[in-house]
């Protein structure tokens, strides 16, 4: 049936392609709709209308239209501007933000909007039951991760020592199943002080506990560095989230005992609070340079407490939906359309020119282009344009393109015996002719000679990759496979899409011609492919990553040891350390330098082969104003308007 | 005959039960689940999510839980569109698929029976070869070629009709033709064949011998006999039209039920798949029943026991 769709798309694209060969300046009709109405192809039917649960771009567009966070994006530059918060202060250590909300804010149903709404919303966002996929974005807030992953906040007290704070979490085995054991490890940053500097603890299912404490112990000749052991039995109630008991402390000058007590973290432990109705305070564990930008990202939107408490999961039904942004939803027909109108209670409503926005979930790219051509859509957004049309469409005036913060790359399973060798990985990377590949793609994508795509303000990724088949051959020979002899057939895994197959074929040919190795192509359906990648059941796998926000961490954090999105088996303590250092660095210039160092290491080790950076390409009718190409592909709808007089000044 | 109908209704129950059971277990054989997403959530949160949807229970328990709520009419929430229930999708999608289906059926009947009858009456003439060649074309051109072709001509070049969506009468035309033409073609050929067979029958000769006018024979006798192959074809065909040609709905963005057969399976949306499959099975069985009963009315030789 998938083939049916492919054939279907092919047939209609051939047919439309023929119809494309007209010579007008613009693609299709250019008469605007009546009034200030904007019609957009929204891709697919949204999975959620709840901004905290969603992750897809179609869902995100709707959330951005209906909700507004502390900050919002400037429509052209994406610089964070005041949103719900009209100003903010930052503490000198960069860890405490104090947001001052505008006066007189209201929800779309008239209810007053206060700082408590943010406290409620962010607590709900981090609540485990909400299962928000983007919850990790707020893990910089004090106790946010602890609460979200249901850890136990515990204190260890011993006479004569400072109390130790530790977080017990469930242990996972290699297959990501819970072993039944709880573990904790911690360090106290008190350089030069006497006392405990680090510790670890394991608690078995039956409560049997064992651990150790490292630090300075008072000996007969003064403090000396040593290790104390902990042992005992604890009462651990996982369901109720409680732990308590006594542990024997051994290895010290005399026998001692420690009291341990803990409970599951609760929402009130998170470092956010409403100082008063108009002041919202956030306490971070370490400075986050891009925090203000993050606050504009839709999962961090406020959600209406009254409606949620009354209606539970059904709060997103049309009759219960309450929002605080520029638009409210007035109609929703599944798989057909969603209609939004201007929210007159929005604080900036007088500057929103659009009266109505209609979003259509159109999944077939060719149909979307058809509707755009027939004048039923005003914008056909990024990447919803079939590959085959790009060369003929790129000559039209309504075709726009910009670079996008995304990268297409191949993951390498470094646990594979052949790919374990760094030289092999480098050889594979050097043998890919990226320039020729992007020419084939035709959408202006730049070849990636670095990993982090260009466009992040202040960050210039080190461009260390190159196309050098001779060097690649040499490296492969060094690794023990001269001319590719003895090298096993490699599998390239990709999810079933025409373009991925074409790219894989090009790379297959490059590797054969330049290195003499054989490659087999293996395509799997999306969910199967995700599972294969996650369980490291692949050798080479096609992948991509699009930025959540404009900072190197969104790309570089992925490769930390055991990172949830790593999926290569690669681990480097040096890399982990660098990323950790950067996280705590206050000076922005120095911080970017640390990232460069980390990426230099990444590009030397090459657990991945970057191939090209993304571009956005879309169609925009000439009468649509206020819709700009941006690197995060975010287009605040409150800035858009229909210019009925566009013909007198077509340039924009 | 009432007994016959009752018997068929009772037979429906075990059939539906088997369909539900097989689908339930077959779905879970496919690797991957509804909660496999590109971004990882903390394992504790994922475990929580699985508990909420009872994925942590043994499979048999999940099965009985589903079956008992299904019997009470609760087909559960969709796993992918977690804010919506499966019944929402069926309630919103079925009337549209049904409307499209009925219009396609009407189109197929009108543009199938008429040419078929005419062809059979004027056998081996231009009135025969003409329509029958068109029918051959209709059968050979798949709907995913016909659809875009119609769109190219009528929407993208002439701008007479909209290319997709379902917003009013002008939107209905192209999808109906695309969906109905194949069935029109089949019906034309079947009608012609059936008519030709009936016309040779003894009882028609008897009617002629009795002096009845030709048109009267046609309307009172020939046509009903000629319809028999069409009616037996119609049963399954109607059900398939009704539950939505997946391709036509996809090409023309018709918000019907057909798309979920594929989309829900790809998303491993177990509850939506089960709901749609069960619904489709019900419709199919009922329509087949209607056809069988209709058959009895058309052909006096058929009896029920």
Residues A288-313: tens digit of each pLDDT: 888 999 999 999 999 999 999 999 98
Residue A4 binned pLDDT confidence (cut-offs 50, 70, 90): low
Closest CA to A67 of A53, A127, A142, A43: A53
Confidence bin at A235 (pLDDT 50/70/90): very high
Residues forming beta bridges with residue A261, ordered by sequence position: A155, A244
Smallest Cβ–Cβ distance between B250 and the set A170, A317, A364 belongs to: A364
Characterize the bridge pairing of strands A490-495 and A519-524: parallel
Residue A333 touches partner B, C-beta closer than 8 Å: yes
pLDDT tens, position by position, A597-634: 999 999 999 999 999 999 888 999 999 999 998 888 88
Query: What CA–CA distance (Å, rounded) separates B23 from B116?
Result: 40
Task: Please state whether beta strands A37-41 and A356-360 pair in parallel, antiparallel, or not at all (unpaired).
Answer: parallel
Query: What's residue A19's pLDDT?
Result: 47
Is the model's pTM score more than 0.90?
Answer: no
Q: DSSP of B160-218, one letter per residue?
A: -S-SS--SSHHHHHHHHHHHHHHHHHHHHHHHHHHHHHHHTSHHHHHHHHTT--HHHHI
A25-61 per-position pLDDT tens digit = 788 888 888 889 999 999 888 989 999 998 888 899 9
Q: What tokens does A212 get? A: 């150790």
Secondary structure class of A68 (helix, strand, coil): coil
Structure tokens belonging to residue A260: 């341990």
Residue A219 has pLDDT above 70, yes or no: no
DSSP letters for A69-105? -SEEE-TTT--EEESSEEEEEE-TTS-EEEEEEPTT-
Q: What is the reported pLDDT for A304? A: 96
Closest of A263, A267, A228 to residue A155, by C-alpha = A263
List, as ranges, residues 146-205 from B with C-beta within 8 Å of A: 147-149, 151-152, 155-157, 159, 162-166
| pLDDT level of residue A1 (50, 70, 90 thresholds) | low
Are residues B151 and B82 in contact, defined by beta-carbon separation less than 8 angstroms? no
What is the reported pLDDT for A121?
96
Greater pLDDT, A648 or A411: A411
Supply the pLDDT for residue A6: 63
pLDDT tens, residue by residue, A317-328 = 999 999 999 999
Q: Which two tokens stand for residue A44?
A: 């697919």
Q: Do B268 and A313 touch (CB under 8 A)?
A: no
Residue-by-residue DSSP string for A112-123? B--HHHHHHHHH
Task: Give yes or no for A48 touching B (CB within 8 A).
Answer: yes
What region does A222 belong to: left with phi over 0, alpha with psi -120 to 50, or beta? left
Who contacts B167 (Cβ-Cβ below 8 Å, separation ≥6)? none
Name every residue whose Cβ is closer than 8 Å to that of residue A195 and which is 6 or more positions away in sequence: A161, A162, A188, A215, A216
Min Cα distance B16 → chain A (Å) is 24
Across the interface, whether the CB atoms of A50 and B83 are under 8 A apart is answered: yes
- Three-state SS for A485-539 is CCCCCEEEEEECCHHHHHHHHHHHHHHHHHHCCCEEEEEECHHHHHHHHHCCCCC
CA distance A346 to A106: 7
Nearest-by-CA chain A residue for B156: A374
State how far residue A40 is from chain B, nearest Cα, in angstroms.
14
Q: Report how many Cβ contacts below 8 Å link chain A to chain B.
A: 174
Predicted confidence band of residue B227 (pLDDT cuts 50, 70, 90): confident
Q: Note the pLDDT of residue B304.
A: 66
Terminal C-alpha separation, chain B: 8
| Pairwise CA distance, residues A325 & A633, whole Å | 19
Interface test with B, best of A9, A14, A15 (most B CBs within 10 A): A15
- Has residue B186 got a pLDDT over 50? yes
Q: What pLDDT, in 10s, does the model give residues B206-217?
A: 888 888 888 877
pLDDT tier for residue A266 given thresholds of 50, 70 and 90: very high
């Amino acid at each position: 049936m998938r083939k049916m769709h492919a054939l279907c798309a092919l047939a209609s694209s051939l047919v439309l392609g023929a119809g494309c060969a007209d010579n007008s300046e613009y693609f299709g009709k250019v008469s605007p709709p009546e009034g200030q109405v904007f019609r957009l192809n929204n891709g697919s039917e949204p999975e959620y209308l709840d901004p905290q649960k969603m992750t897809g771009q179609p869902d995100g567009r709707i959330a951005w239209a209906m909700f507004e966070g502390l900050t919002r994006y400037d429509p052209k530059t994406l610089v964070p501007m005041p949103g719900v918060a009209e100003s903010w202060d930052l503490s000198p250590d960069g860890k405490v933000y104090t947001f001052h909300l505008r006066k007189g804010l209201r929800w779309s149903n008239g209810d007053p909007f206060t700082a408590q709404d943010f406290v409620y919303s962010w607590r709900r966002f981090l609540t485990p039951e909400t299962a928000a996929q983007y919850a990790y974005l707020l893990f910089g807030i004090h106790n946010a991760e602890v609460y979200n992953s249901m850890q136990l906040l515990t204190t260890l007290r011993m006479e004569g020592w400072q109390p130790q704070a530790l977080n017990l979490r469930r242990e996972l085995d290699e297959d990501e199943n819970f072993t039944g054991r709880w573990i904790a490890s911690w360090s106290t940053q008190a350089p030069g002080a006497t006392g405990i500097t680090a510790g670890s603890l394991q608690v078995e299912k039956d409560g049997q506990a064992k651990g150790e404490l490292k630090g300075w112990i008072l000996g007969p000749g003064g403090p000396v560095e040593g290790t104390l052991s902990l042992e005992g039995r604890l009462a651990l109630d996982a369901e109720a989230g409680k732990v308590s008991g006594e542990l024997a402390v051994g290895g010290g000058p005399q026998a001692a005992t420690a009291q341990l007590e803990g409970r599951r973290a609760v929402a009130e432990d998170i470092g956010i609070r409403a100082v008063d109705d108009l002041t919202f305070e956030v306490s971070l564990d370490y400075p986050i340079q891009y925090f203000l930008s993050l606050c504009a990202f839709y999962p961090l939107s406020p959600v209406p407490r009254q409606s949620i408490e009354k209606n539970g999961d059904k709060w997103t039904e049309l009759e219960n939906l309450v929002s605080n942004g520029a638009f409210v939803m007035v109609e929703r027909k599944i798989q057909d359309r969603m209609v939004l109108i201007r929210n007159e209670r929005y604080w900036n409503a007088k500057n929103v020119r659009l009266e109505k926005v209609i979003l259509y979930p159109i999944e077939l790219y060719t149909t979307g282009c058809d509707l755009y051509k027939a004048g039923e859509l005003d914008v056909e957004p990024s990447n919803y344009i079939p590959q085959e049309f790009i060369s003929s469409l790129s000559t039209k005036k309504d075709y726009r393109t910009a670079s996008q913060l995304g990268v297409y790359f191949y993951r390498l399973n470094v646990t594979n015996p052949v790919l374990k060798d760094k030289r092999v990985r480098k050889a594979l990377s050097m043998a890919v002719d990226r320039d020729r590949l992007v020419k084939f793609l035709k959408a202006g994508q730049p070849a990636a000679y670095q990993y982090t795509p260009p466009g992040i303000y202040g960050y210039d990724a080190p461009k260390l990759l190159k196309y050098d088949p001779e060097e690649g051959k040499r490296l492969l020979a060094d690794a023990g496979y001269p001319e590719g002899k003895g090298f096993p057939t490699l599998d390239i895994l990709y999810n079933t899409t025409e373009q991925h197959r074409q790219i894989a074929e090009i790379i297959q040919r490059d590797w054969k011609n330049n290195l003499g190795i054989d490659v087999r192509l293996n395509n799997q359906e999306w969910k199967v492919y995700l599972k294969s990648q996650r369980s490291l059941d692949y050798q080479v796998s096609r992948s991509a990553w699009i930025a959540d926000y404009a900072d190197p961490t969104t790309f570089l954090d992925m490769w930390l040891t055991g990172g949830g999105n790593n999926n290569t088996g690669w681990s480097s303590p040096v890399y982990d350390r660098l990323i950790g250092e950067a996280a705590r660095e206050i000076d922005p210039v120095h911080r970017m330098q640390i990232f460069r160092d980390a990426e230099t290491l990444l590009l030397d080790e090459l657990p991945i082969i970057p191939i090209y950076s993304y571009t956005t390409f879309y169609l925009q009718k000439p009468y649509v104003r206020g819709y700009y190409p941006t690197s995060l592909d975010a287009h605040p709808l409150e800035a858009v308007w229909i210019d009925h007089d566009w013909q007198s000044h077509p340039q924009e | 005959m009432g007994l016959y109908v009752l018997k068929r209704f009772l037979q429906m129950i075990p059939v539906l039960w088997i369909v539900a059971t097989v689908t339930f277990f077959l779905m879970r054989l496919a690797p991957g689940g509804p909660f496999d997403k590109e971004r990882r959530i903390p394992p504790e949160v994922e475990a929580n999510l699985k508990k909420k949807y009872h994925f942590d229970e043994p499979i048999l328990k999940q099965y009985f839980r589903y079956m008992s709520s299904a019997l009470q009419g609760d087909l559960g929430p969709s796993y992918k569109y977690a804010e919506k229930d499966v019944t929402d999708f069926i309630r919103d999608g079925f009337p549209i698929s049904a409307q499209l289906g009925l219009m396609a059926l009407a189109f197929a009947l009108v543009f199938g029976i008429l040419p078929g009858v005419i062809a059979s009456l004027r056998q081996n003439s231009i009135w025969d070869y003409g329509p029958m060649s068109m029918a051959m074309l209709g059968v050979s051109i798949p709907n995913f070629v016909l659809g875009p072709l119609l769109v190219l001509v009528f929407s993208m070049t002439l701008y007479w009709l909209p290319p997709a969506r379902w917003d009013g009468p002008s939107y209905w035309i192209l999808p109906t033709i695309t969906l109905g033409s194949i069935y029109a073609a089949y019906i034309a050929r079947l009608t012609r064949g059936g008519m030709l067979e009936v016309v040779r029958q003894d009882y028609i000769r008897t009617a002629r011998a009795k002096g009845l006018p030709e048109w009267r024979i046609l309307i009172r006798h020939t046509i009903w006999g000629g319809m028999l192959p069409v009616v037996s074809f119609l049963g399954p065909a109607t059900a398939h039209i009704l539950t939505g040609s997946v391709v036509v709905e996809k090409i023309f963005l018709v918000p019907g039920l057909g798309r979920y057969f594929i989309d829900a399976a790809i998303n491993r949306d177990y509850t939506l798949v089960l709901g749609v499959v069960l619904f489709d099975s019900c419709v199919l069985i009922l329509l087949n029943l209607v056809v069988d009963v209709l058959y009895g009315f058309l052909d006096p030789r058929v009896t029920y026991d």
